[in-house]
């Protein structure tokens, strides 16, 4: 069983517009009408749970939810076949807004709320539940930002608890929360670089810096690090190799990048849990991400489409930069 942890889930509201107008003059008003919209549960771990469930892998989604939007998150996941075990909070689950402009779908405009303030009592309730669930898990996925009130060291603590119970840990986060978690030796690390192209203070602006940062994480005890290189390519570092993952799909075909990175990680975890070879793990992961980017839905749930995308993905070792 796989446990996903999304401490700061959301309700994602996506708007498609023909053009996004920005006011330039004081008291000027522009009305931008959406051509269509969609509402879904969101958050990195939530999206991964949705992907895993669509591909037949049992998983339990954990974290914090509250208010009417919290009910939207839970009902949405349960409808997708995901078992939920959230702690209910006094404050409302956040709403994130995505605006996709026609012809620029590959560059989404994101407005993310900070999320509700979590109390110490709510954190304690979550930790009690998590300790029980971690004992039953083969994998634990820790993903996304932390809501106000949650200490940045929590991912390190959750990683330690899961590893002590025999589970492998995948983490997708950024900033200090990720830096502290590395000391607890997660199995798989995928840095969230949406706000800052950094990993442990290292700027990820070139292939060389990405490889160096990834090898540092491997030295901390991780078995795989996957770092985004560009929209259609990533670099993976393992203890003995460095891999470049690419696809030939042009970005002009992308319809919605929101959630594609989570589908990528979900695909990797799906194949790792099935004990597939590294090349297949990476090829399937990027194919899942690309198939999701080509869909207006956040997560592609069509296995045949993902497998078709695998034919366009190449995985190659980079010579002279082994672990």
Q: Could you read off the pLDDT of 205-246 as tens digits, one per residue?
A: 678 888 888 898 899 899 999 988 766 678 999 999 999 999
List phi, psi (to 5°) of 10: -155, 165
- Kindly report, residue by residue over 182-194, the tens digit of the pLDDT: 999 999 999 876 5
In this structure, how many other beta carbons lie within 10 angstroms of the beta carbon of residue 62?
Answer: 27
* Residue carrying the six token digits 């190799």: 241
Distances, alpha carbon 13 to alpha carbons 10, 101, 160, in Å: 9, 14, 35
- Kindly report, residue by residue over 118-174, the tens digit of the pLDDT: 999 999 999 999 999 999 999 999 999 999 999 999 999 999 999 999 999 999 998
Reduced to 3 states (helix: H, G, I; strand: E, B; else coil), residue 104 is coil
If one compares 100 and 203, the residue with the highest pLDDT of the two is: 100
Report the run of H or E that residue 39 belongs to, with start and end: strand 34-42
What's the confidence (pLDDT) of residue 198?
A: 54
- Kindly report, residue by residue over 142-158, the tens digit of the pLDDT: 999 999 999 999 999 99
Rounded mean pLDDT of 57-83? 97
In 3D space, the residue among 269, 293, 282, 195 whose CA is nearest the CA of residue 242 turns out to be: 282
Note whether 106 and 252 are within 8 A (CB): yes
Sign of CA dihedral 267, 268, 271, 274: negative
Confidence of residue 321 (pLDDT cuts 50, 70, 90): low
Note whether 306 and 289 are within 8 A (CB): no
Treating both helix axes as pointing N-terminal to C-terminal, what angle do 303-310 and 278-293 enclose, rounded to 10 degrees? 120
Strand 313-317 and strand 224-230: the pairing is: unpaired
Q: Tally helices (H) and strands (E) across the chain.
A: 9, 16
d(CA 96, CA 69): 11
List phi, psi (to 5°) of 243: -120, 140
Name residue 235's beta-bridge partners: 227, 244
Confidence of residue 281 (pLDDT cuts 50, 70, 90): very high
Q: Which residues, other chains included, contact 318 with Cβ-Cβ below 8 Å and sequence gap of 6+?
A: 211, 235, 242, 243, 244
Residue 83 has pLDDT above 70, yes or no: yes
Full set of structural domains in the chain with CATH: 2-9+41-94+113-317 (3.40.1190.20)
Residue 28 has pLDDT above 90, yes or no: no
In this structure, how many other beta carbons lie within 10 angstroms of the beta carbon of residue 136?
Answer: 12
């Amino acid at each position: 069983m796989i446990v996903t942890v999304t401490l700061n889930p959301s309700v994602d509201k996506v708007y498609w517009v023909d053009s996004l107008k920005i006011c330039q003059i004081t008291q000027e008003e522009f009305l931008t009408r959406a051509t269509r919209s969609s509402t879904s549960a969101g958050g990195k771990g939530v999206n991964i749970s949705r992907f895993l469930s669509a591909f037949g892998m049992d998983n339990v989604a954990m974290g914090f939810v509250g208010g009417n939007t919290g009910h939207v998150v839970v009902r949405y996941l349960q409808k997708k076949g995901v078992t939920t075990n959230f702690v209910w909070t006094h404050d409302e689950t956040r709403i994130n807004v995505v605006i996709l402009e026609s012809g620029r779908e590959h560059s989404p405009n994101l407005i993310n709320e900070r999320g509700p303030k979590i109390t110490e009592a709510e954190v304690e309730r979550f930790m009690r539940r998590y300790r029980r669930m971690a004992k039953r898990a083969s994998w634990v996925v820790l993903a996304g930002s932390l809501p106000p009130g949650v200490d940045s060291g929590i991912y390190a603590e959750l990683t330690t608890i899961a590893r002590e119970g025999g589970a492998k840990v995948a983490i997708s986060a950024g900033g200090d929360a990720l830096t502290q978690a590395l000391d607890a030796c997660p199995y798989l690390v995928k840095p969230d670089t949406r706000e800052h192209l950094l990993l442990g203070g290292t700027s990820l602006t070139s292939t060389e810096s990405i490889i160096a940062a990834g090898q540092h994480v491997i030295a901390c005890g991780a078995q795989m690090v996957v770092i985004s290189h560009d929209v259609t390519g990533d670099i993976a570092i393992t203890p003995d190799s460095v891999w470049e993952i690419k696809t030939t799909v042009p970005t002009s075909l992308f319809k919605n990048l929101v959630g594609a990175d989570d589908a990528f990680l979900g695909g990797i975890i799906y194949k790792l849990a099935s004990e597939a070879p590294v090349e297949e793990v990476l090829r399937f992961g990027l194919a899942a991400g690309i198939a999701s980017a080509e869909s207006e839905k956040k997560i592609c749930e069509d296995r045949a489409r993902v497998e078709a995308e695998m034919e366009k993905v190449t995985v190659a070792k980079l010579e002279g930069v082994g672990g």
